[in-house]
Chains A and B, each alone.
Chain A
Amino acid sequence: MSTIKEALSFAHVVILMYMTQTGVIVFSLPQIEAQYFGTNGWISVIICSAIVTMNLFVIGLLYRVGKGKSIFESMEQALPKWALTPLYGGLICVWSMLGLMVVKEYVLIFQMMAFPTTHPMLLTLIVDLLILYLVTKGIYNIGKAASAFYWLIIWMLLLLLFFIGDFEWSRLTTFVFQDGESLKQGFIAMMTAFLGYELCMLLFPYTNRQTKVIRAAVTGNGLLTFSYLSLSIIAFGFFSFPQLKVMLFPLLDLMAYIVFPFVERLENFFYGIFLFSIIVTAAMYLWAATETGKRYFPRMDSKFLSFGLVSLQFAVSFIPDTLNEVKSWLDILGKIELGIAFRLPLFVLTLIFLRKATRRGE
């Protein structure tokens, strides 16, 4: 492998993780909590965050045992490449599709407010090109761009203060998880809202000891938990519970409610700002897919690889064309990705242990 000249810093990984985890699902987050968990569904954020942290500790173990080596290398040392082909192929498909589907959903929601009759794929194409451009610059630059984007987006948390006037604790009710549809489905849906953290597995070769990559990922997840929690609690006290259950995008309604003395109806502007987070999410997944692809074509310029992946997935994303279809695609992809997030580190860990055991046996 090439020698590491540069390494991601702690802060970069924190922000990168936070921005990757914040996806398009944030717009419907309080609704998911209300629909599946029921009253006081915001508590699920804490539970899911704890599960994610545990998963991150498993990944941390992988980092320790693998001595910070790339997970691909660890796998390839234990198994021949042809045996890994189905896994790699699957990873490339899921990762590249997940990123671009998030973009498509973002675009379709955007079209409810502006450009309703423009072809959605045109808008998707523009965003995809931006992402492609970012990915071709490499992970260090994605990290730097994410940090810049982070400051453009994080101030929006302060907007939550606007809702304190209409917020009432009594609307939260004293019941916990009553009147929800299904806890199991709820946890799956909520966990997909946290996805993105698992990509820190791929960051190993781009970090050094000073980065403390796992601690950074845990911090990033903590930051995300904080913003999810504050958003959810505000939503549960601002809207009535049965109302929250029937709203598709509570965050959009929250943003539309904001009125400044000099201007109102700013939701288009606020929604536009979320593009930064979407770009980072999609770019990170595309980058992950490219990294996997590089195992097959190590000589090929990764720019062309990314280009190929984007073109392919762009063609695929023509198929679902309504918001509901895109949502159900994202649902399925999210579930698969959840499986990857939990099982891939365990799989690699097993491979490493097996290899160690067989070596000792020799």
Chain B
Amino acid sequence: MRIFQRLLILTLIAILLTGCGDKRILEELGFTQTTSYDLLPNGKLDITLSIPQADPEAKTKRMILRTTSDSSKESRIKMAMQTHLQLVSGQLRNSIFGLSLAKAGIWNHIDTLIRDPSISPQVKVTVVNGNAGELLRKDYKQQPRTGKYIDKLLTKEAEGQTVPKVTLYQFARDYYDDGIDPVAPIIKDVGEHISIDGIGLFRDDRYITKIKPEDALIFAFQRGRFKQGELSIDLAREARSDKQIAMLSGLMSTREVKVNLGRNGHTTVRFIIHIQGSILEYIGPYNLSNDSDRKKLEHQIASYIADKSDEMVAMMQRHKVDSLGIGTHVRNSMSYKEWKSRNWKDELYPNARVLFDVTVKIKSYGKFR
């Protein structure tokens, strides 16, 4: 039996040594951090890669590769010919799409990214209002490396709800679901910096319209529960006065959706939204330490949010984009046959009645009466 064991150990060693074949050496790898896609007028793709340089002898902080091609994987092969590094995509953090391409549809590229097992489902999906490649190639002097800058900016803003967190996973999930449409944050170049430019609303994989950055928080209230966030609102219209501004901070919001199917195909959807927060800035006639004044303010904020929500939903219905996922809730109140026989996005959704029931609670109003 000894011989048997020895043979076993010998074969094991031999096999383990041959395992040195498929090796990856850190210094020889180019870790793609961000990829940008733009559609050229001739129908080809303009692709840029941003690769941080680890080499201390390198003169720049990052390497930029650019090419035009028909598909994104083909471009990778072309770009590999331009560099001494072996390109790998395991550290990819962000894929940014120019508006031209986003309008034409981005599913083919998302599909490529999802199919590759080395790419994380946590890679962000972002739309650039303008040319994505130009934005990625530009160096912003006061900021970190552009790829990293965009990534950190989006992560931070997503925590404050000004943009939703949209990764390959979220985009693909909502793309496939027949009761919701995908969304993606929009960024744009503002000279010395990059700025958030709202939330892009998609129908299937095509960019249709956007939510303005100042309405982003209201959109977040409609989309689901969250904690953390700040909202500044101009209550002039609600209060019918000249000037009244309130800033809510430390927001916590919950959402409930109730669906009522009418007899003649008129669907009523009721959003019940509860918001809690602290007032950190207030310019207006009320005395915040007075209970009845504070109640009035709460009502005004609530009706402001409800009014804004009405406008936003009407806009989304006009564009036939169900970015709030109302369809998933309607679907769950129907039978399977009914749901399949009706065309939700084109027929039911634009005509659905959407109501908002908003309550606001001011938890505190700072350390001043």
Instruction: Give chain A's interface residues, CB within 8 Å of chain B.
Output: 39, 112-118, 122, 125-126, 129, 132-133, 166, 168, 170-171, 173-175, 178-179, 238-243, 246, 252-253, 256-257, 259, 264-265, 303, 307
Q: Which residues of B, 59-98, contact A by the 8 Å Cβ criterion?
A: 90
B residues near A252, Cβ cutoff 8 Å = 117
Q: Is the CB of A117 within 8 A of B173?
A: no
Q: Give 6 closest A-B pairs by Cβ, nearest first.
A: A240-B177, A243-B176, A242-B176, A175-B336, A115-B22, A178-B336
Bound state CA distance, A135 and B169, in angstroms?
A: 41
The answer to whether A174 touches B332 (Cβ under 8 A) is yes
Q: What's the minimum C-beta distance from B108 to chain A, rounded to whole angstroms?
A: 15
Q: In whole angstroms, what is the CA distance A127 to B173 when docked?
A: 36
Whether A118 lies near B328 (C-beta < 8 A) is no
Can you give 16 contacting A-B residue pairs, CB < 8 Å? A117-B22, A118-B18, A118-B21, A122-B18, A122-B19, A129-B8, A132-B8, A170-B325, A171-B177, A174-B332, A178-B336, A240-B174, A243-B172, A256-B117, A256-B122, A265-B120
B106-148: contact bitstring with A at CB < 8 Å (1 yes, 0 no)?
0000000000011011100000000000000000000000000
| Chain A positions within 8 Å of B368 at CB level | none
Query: How many whole Å from A28's CB to the nearest CB in chain B?
Result: 14
Contact B121 A253 (CB under 8 A): yes
**Are B329 and A170 closer than 8 Å at their CB atoms?**
yes
Chain B residues with Cβ below 8 Å from A240 are 173-174, 176-177, 180
Bound Cα distance A174, B172 (Å): 22
Which residues of B are found within 8 Å of A39, using beta-carbon distances? 336
Interface flags, B5-20, vs A, CB<8A=1, else 0: 0001001100110110
Distance between Cα atoms of A304 and B324 in the complex (Å): 65
Known: A115-B21, A243-B175. 9 other contacts (CB 8 A): A112-B117, A115-B19, A116-B22, A129-B11, A129-B12, A166-B170, A173-B328, A174-B331, A242-B177
- Tell me whether A126 and B173 are in contact (CB under 8 A): no
Residues in chain A near residue B4, CB distance under 8 A: 303, 307
Which residues of B sit under 8 angstroms from A264, Cβ to Cβ?
120, 122
B1 located at the interface, meaning its Cβ lies under 8 Å from any Cβ of chain A in the complex: yes
Question: Given that A122-B15, A129-B11 are known contacts, is A259 also in contact with B122, CB under 8 Å in the complex?
Answer: yes
In the assembled complex, which residues on chain A have CB atoms less than 8 Å from the CB atom of B151?
none
Rounded to whole angstroms, the CA-CA distance of A303 and B332 in the bound complex is: 58
Q: Out of A118, A242, A265, which one reaches B22, CB within 8 Å?
A: A118
Q: Which residues of B contact A117 (CB under 8 A)?
A: 21-22
CB of B177 within 8 A of CB of A241, answer yes
Give the complex CA separation of A112 and B8 in angstroms: 28
Of the candidates B22, B169, B325, B335, the one whose C-beta lies within 8 Å of that of A257 is B169
A238 to B170, CA, bound (A): 10
Bound together, the chains give a CA A243 to CA B169 distance in angstroms of 10
Q: Does B178 contact A (CB under 8 A)?
A: yes
Residue contact A170 to B12, C-beta cutoff 8 Å: no
Count of B interface residues, CB-CB < 8 Å: 36
In the bound complex, what is the Cα–Cα distance between A122 and B19 (angstroms)?
9
Residues on the B chain within 8 Å of A257, using CB: 120-122, 169
- With beta carbons under 8 angstroms apart, the residue of B15, B121, B175 that contacts A125 is B15
Determine how close the nearest CB of chain B comes to the CB of A43; give it in whole angstroms.
Answer: 15
CA distance A118 to B15 in the complex (A): 11
CA distance A122 to B22 in the complex (A): 12
Q: Are B118 and A113 within 8 A (Cβ)?
A: yes
Query: Residue on B with the closest CB to A170?
Result: B328
Nearest CB in chain B: distance from A261 CB, A: 12
In the complex, what residues of A have CB within 8 A of residue B15's CB? Answer: 122, 125-126
Chain B residues within 8 Å of A179, by CB? 336
Q: Shortest distance in angstroms between B326's beta carbon and chain A's nearest beta carbon?
A: 11
Q: CB distance B332 to A170 under 8 Å?
A: yes
Give CA–CA (A171, B327) in the complex, Å.
11
Residue of A nearest to B12 (CB): A129
Q: Which residues of B sit under 8 angstroms from A265, Cβ to Cβ?
A: 90, 120
Closest to B172 in A: A243
Q: Which residues of A contact B21 (CB under 8 A)?
A: 115, 117-118
How far is B169's CA from A114's CA once the two chains are assembled, in angstroms? 22
Q: Nearest chain-A residue to B339 (Cβ)?
A: A175
Q: Give the chain B neighbours of A168 by CB distance below 8 A.
A: 328
Measured CB to CB, the closest approach of chain A to B111, in angstroms, equals: 10
Report yes or no: A126 in contact with B12, Cβ–Cβ below 8 A: yes
Interface residue ranges of B148-176 to A (CB < 8 Å): 169-170, 172-176
Q: By the criterion CB–CB under 8 Å, are A256 and B121 in contact?
A: yes
> In the complex, which residue of chain A has the Cβ closest to the Cβ of B335?
A175
**Closest CB-CB distance, B205 to chain A, in whole Å?**
13
Please, which residues of chain B bring their CB within 8 A of the CB of A246?
Answer: 176
Give A249's nearest chain B residue, CB to CB: B117
CA distance A265 to B122 in the complex (A): 9
CA distance A230 to B94 in the complex (A): 31
Q: Which residues of A contact B120 (CB under 8 A)?
A: 256-257, 264-265
Chain B window 201-231, contacts with chain A (Cβ cutoff 8 Å), 1 for yes, 0 for no: 0000000000000000000000000000000
Please measure, in the bound complex, the distance between the C-alpha atom of A132 and the C-alpha atom of B121, giving whole angstroms: 37
Residues of A within 8 A of B12 (CB): 126, 129
For A259, the closest partner residue in chain B by CB is: B122
Contacts of B121 on A, CB cut-off 8 Å? 253, 256-257
A133 to B12, CA, bound (A): 12
Q: Which residue of A lies closest to B325 (CB)?
A: A170
**Do B11 and A243 touch (CB < 8 A)?**
no
Task: Pick the most buried of B19, B118, B173: most chain A CB atoms within 10 A of its CB.
Answer: B173
Q: Which residues of B contact A175 (CB under 8 A)?
A: 335-336, 339
Write the nearest CB–CB distance from A341 to chain B, whole angstroms: 33
B294-336 residues with Cβ-Cβ distance < 8 A to A are 325, 328-329, 331-333, 335-336
- Given the complex, which residues of B lie within 8 Å of A242, measured CB to CB? 176-178
Q: How far is the CB of A50 from chain B (nearest CB, A)?
A: 25
Bound complex: CA A118 to CA B24 (Å): 13
B11 touches A114 (CB 8 A): no
Chain B residues near A303: list those with CB within 8 A: 1, 4
Residues in A with CB closer than 8 Å to B178 are 242
Name the CB-closest residue of A to B337: A178
A62 to B14: give the CA distance in the assembly, Å: 47
For residue A90, give the distance in angstroms from its CB to the closest CB of chain B.
29
Complex contacts, B172 vs chain A, CB 8 Å: 243
Bound complex: CA A256 to CA B11 (Å): 33
> Residue B173 contacts which of A115, A116, A170, A243 (CB distance < 8 angstroms)?
A243
Instruction: Using CB atoms, name the residue of chain A closest to B224.
Output: A168
Q: Nearest chain B CB to A212's CB is how many angstroms away? A: 35
Nearest A-chain residue to B117, judged by Cβ: A112
Once the chains bind, are A243 and B122 in contact (CB under 8 Å)?
no
**Chain A minimum-CB-distance residue to B90:** A265
